[in-house]
Structure 1
């Protein structure tokens, strides 16, 4: 399609989504009461996570589903990859801003997200051809749970059990030695995961303990820095690329050979805005984005505030893709390195603490190599801290590390200059 054709299609989908939300979601019905008959996107009031979370049951367009029901569903890990009530996949966000969110996908929404991932994920056609010719074995290293990455894999394996020999997810909390052993047996053709985790695997490959030769390395969930990209390329030999996705929006952008993140604009709308939700010009770093997911009708995200900072571009890209592209300032949590020489990726720590009941927000600060300060926000700080400290100690011991953990006197802090939040802060 031409750019104008894709924009027209997106506009048609937006109007259908808004009409559906107004009719079936009490939250949006009330929010859009004063909407003019001939409205534009900018007329729609932005929404944010705290407000939507506070009105969860009124937000959903299926009146038979409740927040209590979804909480019970994800409370049972055996439900990973299952559809609640036979209709909805249930995911939780990673909580990179400190507060996770439960998100429902119906089968159409999941199919659209999967199709965008498959059809547009490869920047080079030869990599897709090589992936198919070399056996299509895919290994990923994500936090296991009701997250978009591992949850989608669990869903696909339930739908197509014959793919168990072709798809594997390794939990980021797994000791690196076990991870290396499994990857050496599986020999993936495509390797996916968080850049910080894959960086540790690259070091295992360079040390001669890991012996894999993936055709392509797909990263996501964190910023892929240029130095890490080059490190992965050198260690594994395959083509390294990334994408831009989130649970609320699915696969929002795919990367081209010029390392530009092109927007899947017929299904996703992204507005680069300032703190007051006013549009910023192309080439200017935004304060945040407003996201509209045109595929999700059961839980509409329409002009939804996301704290990611981006630079939007509409100029022509030499790759041939005519869709707008963007640059993103991604997560910058730190890898922890200890006296024993062990290195732990930040999202493995997050995956541990995500399991602590009552923990609303945390920040783990490395004061010395084996001295950590745990700052928490919780309704019952003493009890929650004790549970969190015990879980972390067990986790580090499993990975061969002895640490001292002290309770932080401060609450989790944002960076005073950037305004960004880190869950895991390592030594510089």
Structure 2
């Protein structure tokens, strides 16, 4: 993210804090309906699921949130390739990319950011973001980090480059560490990964 572009987008997001509760709910509802249409048009699994629930593209924007069908992790893993809304990627390709490439290689097929869960309940779940979705997610994280700062403070920080400490597991493509790594780059800061199992003198060398 270029700093000027980032700052402009942060300002646009900050305007949402002045919206009324009703306006925020209306905005959330609009975004949800847009997402449902994307899922209906591009996910074979969700289109099938919606049809089973009597939901069509014509009435999907009028369906109550409580009437939407749900999905569990087992189904997601078993039918992943039908669930996702892109046709040029499979779960097998994502797992192969994660297994064969180090986390320093962040993007698959020049477009997809891949992250996964810890797999504490069995097989890890994988999640993918295209560049636009990843950018929006990072913007939300950065907004949260800078939320209580005044505009002059934000400008000064973004120009100078912040110093950030973040503790996380780095032995996989976990969402937190991958997002923070890219977010740090977006804030014009330098990233240094330090192993907490190493003595501090090793940190100093870095």
**Mapped contact 2:40–2:46 kept (Cα < 8 A):** yes
Q: Residue in 2 aligned with 1:150?
A: 177
* Equivalent position SS for 1:112: helix
Q: Does 1:32 align with 2:29?
A: no
Partner of 2:6: none
Pairing of 1:103-252 with structure 2 (within 5 A)? 103-122=127-146, 124-125=148-149, 129=153, 132=157, 136-144=162-170, 145-155=172-182, 163=188, 166-171=190-195, 174-178=196-200, 181-182=202-203
Give distance in 2, aligned partners of 1:135 and 1:39: 46
CA distance in 2, matches of 1:6, 1:101: 31
Is 2:17 the partner of 1:19?
Answer: no
Q: Give the secondary-structure state (helix, strand or coil) at the position aligned to 1:169.
A: coil
Q: CA offsets per residue over residues 161-204 of structure 1, 9 Å max, x none?
A: x95x6322334xx41414x752x577xxxxxxxxxxxxxxxxxx
CA contact (8 A) 2:45 2:82 kept: yes
Match of 2:87 among 63, 69, 92: 63
Relative distance call for 1:62 and 1:120 in structure 2 (3 A) is same
Cα 1:31–1:10 change in 2 (3 A) is same
The answer to whether 1:7 aligns with 2:25 is yes
Alpha-carbon contact 2:117-2:125 (below 8 Å) kept: yes
CA separation of 1:176 and 1:78: change in aligned 2, threshold 3 A:
closer
Cα distance per residue 1:85-121 (max 9 Å; x no partner): 1111000112344442011011122111111111122
Query: Which is richer in helix?
Result: 2
Structure 1 residue 140, shift from structure 2 partner: 2.2
Using the TM superposition, name which of 44-53 and 97-106 deviates more.
97-106
CA offsets, 1:254-297, max 9 Å, x none?
A: xxxxxxxxxxxxxxxxxxxxxxxxxxxxxxxxxxxxxxxxxxxx
1:116 counterpart SS class: helix
User: Quick one: distance in 1 between partners of 2:133 and 2:193?
Assistant: 22
CA contact (8 A) 2:138 2:183 kept: no
SS in 1 for 2:193: strand
Cα distance change of structure 1 residues 181 and 27 upon mapping to structure 2, 3 Å threshold:
same
- TM-score in terms of structure 1 length: 0.37
Matching of residue 87 in structure 1 with residue 111 in structure 2: yes
**Deviation, structure 1 residue 79:** 5.1
Query: Cα RMSD over matched residues?
Result: 3.0
Deviations 1:42-79 (A, max 9, x none): 11111111111110111111111111111111112335
Ranges in structure 1 where 5+ consecutive residues have no aligned partner: 187-428
**SS state of the match for residue 142, structure 2?**
helix
* Pair 1:181–1:140, CA change in 2 (3 A): farther
After superposition, give the CA deviation of every residue in 1:200-256 in whole Å (9 maximum; x if it has no partner). xxxxxxxxxxxxxxxxxxxxxxxxxxxxxxxxxxxxxxxxxxxxxxxxxxxxxxxxx
